Structure 1
Amino acid sequence: MNMTQELPAVRIDVWLWAARFFKTRSLAKQALEAGKISIGDIACKPAKLVRSGERVKVSRGEERMIVEVLALSEKRGPASAAQVLYRETDESRSAREAKREQDRLLGTARPDSRPDKRARRLIHRFLRN
């Protein structure tokens, strides 16, 4: 089956995995159950069917995206093929760029590395007290 062959509908967890929003279907399922994904402003379950033309809101950590479903696929392929499945809306792209610029100006960039053992102990001690 061709990656972009038009299917009538696909489960949202499968589509999110095929479009490479999540590394595994179980991660997509967890995000759906936590309410991090919505189709047309309505939170949905993993078995919800998504169709071409629908808008999907995806929240991953601090990142928020609104994408329009262009094509459906049940198979995960290379990143270049996954990009054909959706298009990010202009509002979403500009909001993400504004957030990134705001974080850069405020100095709230991500740390260069994970905390080491000593730093982790200090963090835990600080949070407990």
Structure 2
Amino acid sequence: MADAGVRIDSWLWAVRVTKSRSAATSLCKAGHVKVGGDTAKPAQTVHPGTEVTVVTPHGTRVLVVRQLLVKRVSAALAAAAFDDLTPAAPPREERTVYAVRDRGAGRPTKRDRREIQRLRGY
């Protein structure tokens, strides 16, 4: 099984990056998963040593596959299946403050939405 590789959506679910496999598949289809720098489809296989970048609502994570898992395992075993190269979050004092829209300002324009996304780091 080690030579064949494992689907990226199945691996992300098995190592507890997402709560369900369908959520992992959705991340892949939306383009939020990169394998080796290229956008990954849900059926793409990963092998030990592969670098995986995942953009989740909690931030971007950079993982290196150490062990192939098909089934979901305990948190301790899942943590041993990858190396986490995610940079540390800045201290709370250094984090950017989110802009607050004035009440009654109406819907955000396309430009406003793009600025909000840029501020949030998407």
Instruction: Normalising by structure 1, report the TM-score.
Output: 0.70
How far is the alpha carbon of 1:100 from its aligned partner? 5.6
- Given that 1:39 and 1:57 are in contact with CA atoms closer than 8 Å, whether structure 2 keeps it comes out as yes
- Which of 66, 75, 81 is the equivalent residue of 2:77? 81
Aligned length: 104
Q: Which residue of 2 aligns with 1:102?
A: 94
Match of 2:62, SS state, is strand
Q: Which residue of 2 aligns with 1:38?
A: 34
Q: State how far apart, in whole Å, the 1-side matches of 2:74 and 2:6 are.
A: 19
Q: Choose between structure 1 and 2: higher helix proportion.
A: 1
What does 1:5-16 align with in structure 2 at a 5 Å threshold? 7-8=2-3, 9-16=5-12
Amino acid at match of 2:71: K
Instruction: Normalising by structure 2, report the TM-score.
Output: 0.74
Percent of aligned positions that are identical: 31
Q: State how far apart, in whole Å, the 2-side matches of 1:79 and 1:35 are.
A: 26
Q: State how far apart, in whole Å, the 2-side matches of 1:61 and 1:98 are.
A: 17
Detail structure 1 runs of 4+ shifted over 3 Å in the superposition.
Answer: 125-129
Q: Which residue of 2 aligns with 1:21?
A: 17
